[in-house]
Structure 1
Amino acid sequence: MKCEKQEDYCVAIPLLYSGKDVITKAEKEQYNTIGGNASFMNTCFNGLNALSGVGILSIPYALASGGWFSLILLFIIAGSTFYTGLLIKRCMDVDPTIRTYPDIGDRAFGKTGGTIVSITVNIELYMVATGFLILEGDNMSNLFPDMDFYIYGTHIAAKTGFVILVAIIILPTSWLNSLSILSYISASGVLATVIILSSIFWAGAVDGIGFQEKGQIVNWNGIPSAISLYAFCYCAHPVFPTLYTSMRNQHQFTKVLFFCFTFCTVTYSFMAIIGYLMFGSKAESQITLNLPTHHISSRVAICTTLVTPIAKYALMLTPTVNAIEARFQSCNNKRMCSFLIRTILMISTVIVALSLPFFGYLMSLVGALLSATTSITIPCLCYMKISGIYRRIGVEVVIVGLVVLSGIVVAVVGTYVSLIDIINNLGVTS
């Protein structure tokens, strides 16, 4: 791309910021015109696809872990993450040269801050993508338990074979680099979420499973796991700057956030309630694993679940791919470099998925250690620094400070509990 200089800025490389703290109105107007071509509806689909999907399968397990009381915590986390989503937008409005999530950390705390944010975000998105493959292997092996694979005489277990097969199917979508095109794939992901929710409700109401489980009011030992999984359900913040810059009319981004968070919170809470009433404390880390496969509704839910990773994988890894490709700007054949980077990323996620096949515990760890950090703590700290509100004590500082504190508590406690669970299960499998 040809670089068109406008005074102290480089349009093609927005990280080259001149260092001025004040952006003039004319400069802001100019940067607002350097947006993408995604419409309001395109961005809504991408936002819904980033927020919904895999989380809806684990939300009944989260509620079963913490009890009915933890449902209140779901709404608190939903409200907190919506607020931090708005803070990300405010940071980008203060400095229109910000184009990605790591840019926010760089603008707030310099190169070190940008590096820390970039590493945290990319690890989170990478682990979420890995979780997609684990989910696929679990559900397909549940649907076809007796199917094994043989390659040149070598026996491959069903779950391993399905993970590899799904990775091959997903791979072409990872080569797409247009968010406008990805929005159509995202639309299928949103539709899949609605179908899964409807199918599971049908299984309980019509196919005889029923809603007879009462559950328990609160399980204090399971609260950390529940909170971690709730945080994982709202882990799309690293994608928000990409969605924001891809919009044709960026002034509508607040409406996009409100619509996406409202829709997802309603579907999450509804799925949590009906799943807990159906299976109680026996709810699996993915509710589809509880469903009897001889019912048509169960098969519809499981088969539709298989669509979700195909729809979400490319979108979630887009910021990571962009960060890696930026390191190889000097590559002569950029198309080939992009192809290799995306393919190698896919292969590596397959390896990790086969090494740590614990969906519930892995997603709980991602939710506590990474999602709580990137979706709660980092946006607040960066906003306080960029806006300068930390210099004066007021209501906004108190609110942001409380949100930061809650994010730190979730990260520390949830990470400890999740690591203990993973270590214990690694000992069992070995």
Structure 2
Amino acid sequence: MEDDHNEKSLETQHSEIQSSQGTTFMRTCLNGVNTMSGVGILSVPYALSEVGWSGLILLILVAVICWYTGLLLSKCMNAHPSIKTYPDIGKLAYGNKGKVIVAVFLYLELYLVAIEFLILEGDNLNKLFPNMSFKVGNLKIEGKRGFTLLSALVFLPTTWLNSLGLLAYISAGGVLASVILVLCVLWVGAADGVGFHERGHFLKWSGMPTTLSLYAFCYCGHVVFPTLITSMKDKRQFSKVLVICFVICSFNYASMAILGYLMYGDTVKSQVTLNLPIKKISSNIAIYTTLMNPLAKYAIILSPIVMAIEGQVFQYYKSKFTSFAIRTLLVMSTVVVALSVPFFGYLMALTGAILCVTASILLPCLCYLKISNRYCSFGLQWLSIISIMVVGILIAVLGTYVSLRDIINHI
């Protein structure tokens, strides 16, 4: 009895130590908002223009669905103390095959986001310095392609560092950048002569798949949610964290969408910064703020992929040169894709349709049903989950078709 008591005391002390070393509620909220406040905010005005003002209702719908699937993920995390990551959830639900499937979708999503960063840099630098070209020997490289290559060269050294993971969760810079971006766009419309005169449309059915895919991209923070839960002092408060994160991000996204659509209507581009008048200070601040975000996050985005590749290679051979080579080749591959498919909006919609919908909507539902043994447990929750999965499948199928069609038509 005394041994049992001592063992329980040690477990209690261990739990208290972990709790004291965990992340606070406020820090977790900042990390969560930072996770979802990425480059997607640039495209929400374009997403709204594709479907009209009814797109605001769709934005709220996608936010509610992704919030609920985030709760399902947290319940999966609570099912077993050994679960620390998203692939761990897949393994608990469906064994090693489930872990591999989740990891593949995770790494593909991160890989395409890294490509989006390069396209983003090329587009916005070309906006700041139009008609600029680069000469390498006898080869002349036009502006956008040249800036994409230049951005990759700047990003490359950051991928050689080994201590980047913590930056993804402790930096609130992404939150501040998103707020600054919205304020700058507001200033351009209110004080720099652009105005808010566009009336727009209420509903355009043809643009719905693209809009829903882009919204899914905006709320694709589920990959990081297990890490946030694991890091918390009090994991029971994660449901409150989710509410705060989704409310703040939805307000920010809706504000940007309304401002951009009122300012530019159906002429708004896939990145609203490309519409801004270049000679205005507020426009330049918005664009420079946009440019800094990929610089801070590119290496972090690629880091899990690098670790997975090195984990396989270093089982047989390990050296610093091999590590540098792997990271350099990975960056080069993202450059090749970015130069081959330089369509920011279409590629983001494709990423949202295939990968973000799968990782943020379908997999949480499937894993929860399996882990909780509720595949045949008919009821309100079962009906809600099945309905969400049907919506997710429709977005994935239609969004993928439309995105691929648009990309093929513009190549």
Q: TM-score, normalised by structure 2?
A: 0.90
Aligned equivalents of 1:172 and 1:45: distance in 2?
Answer: 27
Aligned equivalents of 1:346 and 1:158: distance in 2?
Answer: 20
Q: Which deviates further from its counterpart, 80-89 or 43-52?
A: 43-52
Aligned equivalents of 2:163 and 2:231: distance in 1?
Answer: 12
Aligned equivalents of 2:303 and 2:78: distance in 1?
Answer: 22
Counterpart among 316, 326, 330 of residue 301 in structure 2: 316
Q: Which deviates further from its counterpart, 228-237 or 61-70?
A: 228-237
Q: Who is 2:3 aligned against?
A: none
Give the secondary-structure state (helix, strand or coil) at the position aligned to 1:393.
coil
Aligned equivalents of 2:329 and 2:351: distance in 1?
Answer: 22
Query: Structure 2: which 5+ residue stretches go unaligned?
Result: 1-7
Two-structure CA RMSD over aligned residues (Å): 2.5
What residue identity is the alignment partner of 1:274?
A: L
Aligned equivalents of 1:315 and 1:258: distance in 2?
Answer: 25
Work out whether residues 189 and 307 of structure 1, in 8 Å CA contact, stay in contact via their aligned partners in 2: no
Aligned equivalents of 2:306 and 2:346: distance in 1?
Answer: 26
Q: Does 1:245 align with 2:230?
A: yes
Work out whether residues 50 and 312 of structure 1, in 8 Å CA contact, stay in contact via their aligned partners in 2: no
Give the secondary-structure state (helix, strand or coil) at the position aligned to 1:238.
coil
Q: 1:281-292 alignment to 2 at 5 Å?
A: 281-292=266-277
Q: Does 1:279 align with 2:237?
A: no
Q: Who is 1:120 aligned against?
A: 105
Q: Does 1:205 align with 2:169?
A: no
What residue identity is the alignment partner of 1:209?
A: V
Give the secondary-structure state (helix, strand or coil) at the position aligned to 2:130.
coil
Shift of 1:351: 1.4
Q: Does 1:255 align with 2:240?
A: yes
Q: Deviations over 1:217-238 (max 9, x none)?
A: 1001111111111111111211
Give the secondary-structure state (helix, strand or coil) at the position aligned to 1:285.
coil
Q: Deviations over 1:25-62 (max 9, x none)?
A: x9899789779855444443332222112111000000
**Alignment CA distance shift 1:55-1:107 (3 Å):** same
Q: Deviations over 1:346-395 (max 9, x none)?
A: 22211111111000111111111111111001100101101112242121
Q: Who is 1:193 aligned against?
A: 178
Q: 1:66-215 alignment to 2 at 5 Å?
A: 66-174=51-159, 175-183=161-169, 186-215=171-200
Work out whether residues 45 and 187 of structure 1, in 8 Å CA contact, stay in contact via their aligned partners in 2: yes
Q: Who is 2:350 aligned against?
A: 365
What residue identity is the alignment partner of 2:300?
A: L
Shift of 1:399: 1.0
Counterpart among 346, 362, 374 of residue 331 in structure 2: 346
Aligned equivalents of 1:351 and 1:32: distance in 2?
Answer: 49
Shift of 1:272: 0.3
Q: Deviations over 1:257-305 (max 9, x none)?
A: 2222111110000000010000001110000111110111111111111
Give the secondary-structure state (helix, strand or coil) at the position aligned to 2:375.
helix
Q: TM-score, normalised by structure 1?
A: 0.87
What residue identity is the alignment partner of 2:163?
A: N
Q: Which deviates further from its counterpart, 83-92 or 52-61?
A: 83-92
Count of matched residue pairs: 402
**Alignment CA distance shift 1:287-1:356 (3 Å):** same
Work out whether residues 56 and 254 of structure 2, in 8 Å CA contact, stay in contact via their aligned partners in 1: yes
Work out whether residues 164 and 299 of structure 2, in 8 Å CA contact, stay in contact via their aligned partners in 1: no
What residue identity is the alignment partner of 2:287?
A: I
Q: Deviations over 1:94-132 (max 9, x none)?
A: 012122212211211122222222111211111011111
Work out whether residues 51 and 264 of structure 1, in 8 Å CA contact, stay in contact via their aligned partners in 2: yes
**Alignment CA distance shift 1:284-1:28 (3 Å):** farther
Aligned equivalents of 2:357 and 2:222: distance in 1?
Answer: 10
What residue identity is the alignment partner of 1:180?
A: L
What residue identity is the alignment partner of 2:145?
A: T
Give the secondary-structure state (helix, strand or coil) at the position aligned to 2:223.
helix
Aligned equivalents of 2:61 and 2:301: distance in 1?
Answer: 24
Shift of 1:168: 2.6
Q: Who is 1:298 aligned against?
A: 283
**Alignment CA distance shift 1:239-1:344 (3 Å):** farther
Give the secondary-structure state (helix, strand or coil) at the position aligned to 2:172.
helix
Work out whether residues 49 and 189 of structure 1, in 8 Å CA contact, stay in contact via their aligned partners in 2: yes
Percent identity reads 51
Aligned equivalents of 1:74 and 1:28: distance in 2?
Answer: 44
Q: Who is 1:46 aligned against?
A: 31
Aligned equivalents of 1:287 and 1:55: distance in 2?
Answer: 11
Give the secondary-structure state (helix, strand or coil) at the position aligned to 1:155.
strand
Q: Deviations over 1:148-197 (max 9, x none)?
A: 1122342122112211222232334433435434445x322221111111
Aligned equivalents of 1:90 and 1:315: distance in 2?
Answer: 27
**Alignment CA distance shift 1:197-1:204 (3 Å):** same
